[in-house]
Amino acid sequence: MSTATSAPTPQKSEKAAFRRKTPQLKVTNALNLRQAGLGLAALAALLLCAPLVLTSFQLNLMARLVCYAIVAVGIGLAWGRGGMLTLGQGVFFGIGAYIMAMHMLLSDAALVGQEIPSFMSLTGTTELPWWWKPFANPTVALISVVAIPGLVAFVLGFSIFKRRIKGAYFAILNQALAAAVVVLLVGQQDTLGGSNGLSGFRSFLGFALYDPVNRVMLYLTAVGFLLGLIAVSYWLMRSRYGELLVATRDAEERVRFLGYDPALIKTAAYVIAAMMAGIAGALYVPIMGIISPAEIGVVPSIVFVIAVAAGGRASLFGPVIGALVLGWLQSSLAQTFPSVWSYFQGAILVLVIVLLPGGIASLSWKKFRKGKTS
């Protein structure tokens, strides 16, 4: 006696065929939990030992590079997994940085009994702008360095992706945004310091910035955020959302045909990358003691992308490696050969595209695969 079997629904059969015919939708070159844990432990050991062997100047440089590495982690998720060439991450980095700078200046002014920061008095400003006032509260400031970049990225990203704008057009729009924001900031001489930016900070959340112990703590805080965000990025890559993001990158029309909205999938990655950049900007300000339009424009945004490409945009640790190595080389070579460094950066990008599309991280992956198969 034969039993009747229910016929598969059209939607299920299409999904099964989609997964069967497109093996590239698997998260390629993804590390398993053990490999990712070992890599994270090795990176943590390397970074946490830095205060023991580096001078105060070198440690401050490393702290700055760690902030850049946080931005790179977000770019690796959006560009490496989602295929979105984000050439405007400096904008979100700058939003987080300026919010933290405003909070720190207001805190310093309150310590000496002033109602407005010192630089406003020099420009003739007598009353604090209304949009500065919320950031006097540390809780509001800390939430804003994540929420405001994310909100801006959501509005911008969803409006772009919903119109199916992608590729070079998306990258150009990001660059245009970065250029426009720089022009806006330069024109705010009375309220944001113009081209000079904001500086002269004395404390960070009640801790003196010039205390050597606090400088080390700032570095360790940045390292902690970096390690935590790498873990978040790994979880996203291995999740169902990570597979959908790669699928959207490789076969957007098929993803749309299966009932998913590629605009929402890509917007989510864009928002997460913007939030990471905002966190990095907020950490950058107390570490470096200054934020200006020169730090968030088109050129810094391109440098972020070059570092990610050099390290390996599709890997977990590649963006971090690229940001740290390229940043250290820049600090070393730019002092010795200041007029040659820009050409060196361009040469790195060309060589990576031509000879090593997977970046530095692809070398270790190929070696690992070769050893596994032999």
Give the three-state DSSP class for 292: coil
pLDDT at 132: 94
Tokens 């890997």 map to which residue? 315
Quick one: tokens of 338? Answer: 């200041």
Q: How many CB atoms lie within 10 A of CB 289?
A: 18
What parts of the chain have a pLDDT lower than 50?
1-6, 18-28
What is the pLDDT at residue 12?
A: 53
pLDDT for position 337: 74
Structure tokens belonging to residue 229: 């965000």
What's the farthest any 2 CA atoms get from each other in the chain?
A: 94
Residue 213: its pLDDT value, please? 93
For residue 58, the model assigns a pLDDT of 92
Q: Would you state the structure tokens that stand for residue 350, as one six-digit string?
A: 């060309």
**Is the full-model pTM beyond 0.85?**
yes
Q: What is the pLDDT of residue 120?
A: 87
The residue assigned the tokens 């970049």 is 149
Q: How far apart are CA 89 and CA 277, in angstroms?
A: 7
Tens-place pLDDT, residues 94-123: 999 999 999 999 999 998 888 889 888 887
State in Å, rounded, how far the first CA of the chain is from the last one. 51
* pLDDT confidence of residue 356: 77
pLDDT in the model for residue 351: 81
**Is the CA virtual torsion 293, 294, 297, 303 positive or negative?**
negative
